[in-house]
Amino acid sequence: MDEASLIQAAQRGDVAAFNELVLAYQNQVYNLAYRIMGDGDSAADATQEAFISAYRHLVHFRGGSFKAWLLRIVTNACYDELRRQKRHPASSLEALYVVDEAPDDPGLIAAPAENPETYAQRRELWRFIEAGLSTLPPDQRITLVLSDIEGLSYEEIAEITSANLGTVKSRLSRARAKLRDFLMAQGELLPAHYRLHGEGDGAAQQVVRK
Amino acid sequence: MRWLERRRREHDDELLSAYIDGQLLGRARQEFEARLAREPELRARLEATRRMLGLVRSLPPVPAPRNFLLDPAKYGRPAHVRQAARWYPTLRLATTLATALLILVFAADLILSQALTPTFRAAAPAAAPQVATAGQGARQKTDAVEATVPPTPAEFSAPAPTAHPMLAAQPTPPSGEADQLPSAAAGEQAPEGALAVTPAPATRLGPAAAGAATDGLETGQPPTPGPTEPAPTPTAEAPAATPMPAEVGQAPPQAPLPAPGEPSQESAPAYTPEGPPQAPLPSSLLRAIEIGLAVLVILLVGATILAWRAT
């Protein structure tokens, strides 16, 4: 059964058909939630909420890109979760700055066939990137994840985040600049071949790959 | 000064981001590339941003740690509920249309009734003399009636226009002279004075009037039961003179029809009620349509709510 037929069946209340869609998109949805939330538990909660919400509101889906519609829902679910964490900062600080070591740690899942030292360095780099992402304001983080990790266009991001194009561009440029500056500030902690070297008065730096 | 420097840096970052994404076109792109050629600091930031993006994009995808399937027992809906949900758009449309139609019919009814009202009023005085004329025959047949008076406007609000000719032939005394009523009735129904005589409907005559009625009877019959009892005899009103069809529903119970051959039949040719003017037919038809549509709208609204809850 193709996606359109599955959607129609799910709109009529066929849970089995909807579960087919869940299986098709759950990795993508969870990945987005994980990059936005920064930890596995919150991402799983947001993903589950997103699929439940999608099922309940599926009757309002009027065609177009189902993936974009789904990503919009999970983005909103993440917004809600982030707002909840903001109201309860004690429970969110840990999630913000402690890199998840759970089994869904991408480093563990994507264990490559490279030598252990290189692999450990790569994992260290990913942890810095994730830590840098978590320092961004939610709007900027979501925009950067949608653009530079999910690869969506400005227009798609504008639709998903309910913002205009100018706002999307502005958020994206600020997010990139902040993440770049964060990584440059952490440069000395990075493995040597990922280290950021200062140039001139320090305002201009570059990533030097050996 | 520092604020100006920070603002300039933010602007450069926006240009960098747009340049990386290929959003900087034409003259703006040429100008930015010229700046890159002569400003090593800007060029270094461009390279740092590009490499940062390369690192971000190198993040491995994170697969779902578990399946997020929904439990059919918890989220599934029975087939009939799903079927109801499918009908929701249709029911919603039908409800809207039926409601609009009801409003239209109601408006049409309102306009028609307002347009026809003068006709009724014009017809009412014409009907009154007719009743009076018909009443002459009745007076000739009964000695109980000493005098008749033309029907007052109060009588126009009374009973059914479809009354039996015998009833129509009776004079219609004013409510204040209700003593004429039983006599007329007696003359019509019981010429011998065997009193089937009853005063006019108690609802129209108060106790005092009822008493006056019994006092005024030349037949000397005992007074009729209390004013609260319904009168089985024909009422004294002139039904044909009733101009307002809306009042039809308020008509008191009609007297039993006399057997064929009774003297009262003689008055039938004298007065043939023509009924109210043609207005009641479309009016009552519209009223029936309104009631039908209202019932339909109520049913549709209920069904739509049920279907909406099933969605």
Name the residue facing B67 among A26, A59, A109 (closest C-beta): A26
**Is the torsion defined by CA of B160, B164, B169, B174 positive or negative?**
negative
Which pLDDT score, from 0 to 100, does residue B178 have? 40
Interface contact A27, partner B, CB < 8 A: yes
What are the tens digits of pLDDT across the range B264-294?
444 444 454 454 455 555 678 888 888 999 9
Tens-digit pLDDT string for chain A (210 aa): 789 999 999 988 889 999 999 999 999 999 999 999 988 999 999 999 999 999 999 988 988 889 989 999 999 999 888 888 878 765 544 444 434 444 444 444 445 566 788 888 888 888 889 999 999 999 999 999 999 999 999 999 998 999 999 999 999 999 999 999 998 887 744 555 555 444 333 333 333 333
Average pLDDT, stretch B139-159?
A: 45
Burial class (CB in 10 A: 0-12, 13-18, 19+), B274: exposed
Which pLDDT score, from 0 to 100, does residue A82 have? 86
- Rounded to a whole number of angstroms, the distance from the CA of A149 to the nearest CA of chain B is 6
Highest mean pLDDT among A97-101, B72-76, B124-128, B131-135: B72-76
Average pLDDT, stretch B225-242?
A: 44
* Count of C-beta atoms within a 10 Å radius of residue B261: 7
Phi, psi of B282 (to 5 degrees): -65, -30
Interface contact A129, partner B, CB < 8 A: yes
Which pLDDT score, from 0 to 100, does residue A59 have? 85
User: Which residues have a Cβ under 8 Å from the Cβ of B122 and sit 6 or more positions away?
Assistant: none
Average pLDDT, stretch B203-217?
A: 42
* Count of C-beta atoms within a 10 Å radius of residue B300: 19
Q: Which residues of chain B lie closer than 8 angstroms to A27, CB-CB?
A: 61, 63-64
Helix axes A66-87, A40-56, angle to 10 degrees: 130
pTM of the complete model: 0.53
Which pLDDT score, from 0 to 100, does residue B100 have? 94
What percentage of chain B exceeds 70 in pLDDT?
A: 44
Strand-pair category, A204-207 with A196-199:
antiparallel
Collapsed DSSP state (helix, strand, coil) of residue A206? strand
Collapsed DSSP state (helix, strand, coil) of residue A198? strand
Average pLDDT, stretch B10-37?
A: 94
Query: ipTM of this predicted complex?
Result: 0.78
* Count of C-beta atoms within a 10 Å radius of residue B73: 7
Which pLDDT score, from 0 to 100, does residue B182 have? 42
The whole-angstrom separation of Cα A130 and Cα A124 is 10
Closest-CA residue of chain A to B39? A204
Interface contact A59, partner B, CB < 8 A: yes
At position B82, the amino acid (one-letter code) is: R
Higher pLDDT, B134 or A4: A4
The whole-angstrom separation of Cα A170 and Cα A160 is 16
Phi, psi of A207 (to 5 degrees): -85, 125
What percentage of chain B exceeds 90 in pLDDT?
A: 24
Interface contact A171, partner B, CB < 8 A: no
Phi, psi of A147 (to 5 degrees): -80, -50
CB B120 within 8 A of CB B229: no
Name the residue facing A180 among B52, B60, B75 (closest C-beta): B52
Confidence of residue B198 (pLDDT cuts 50, 70, 90): very low
CB B200 within 8 A of CB B213: yes
CB spacing of B55 vs A14 below 8 angstroms: no
Which pLDDT score, from 0 to 100, does residue B120 have? 53
Closest-CA residue of chain B to A38? B62
Q: Please, which residues 88-127 of chain A have a Cβ atom closer than 8 Å to chain B?
A: 102-104, 106-107, 109-110, 125-126
Closest-CA residue of chain A to B71? A15
What are the tens digits of pLDDT across the range B152-189?
444 444 444 444 444 444 444 444 444 444 444 444 44
CB B128 within 8 A of CB B241: yes
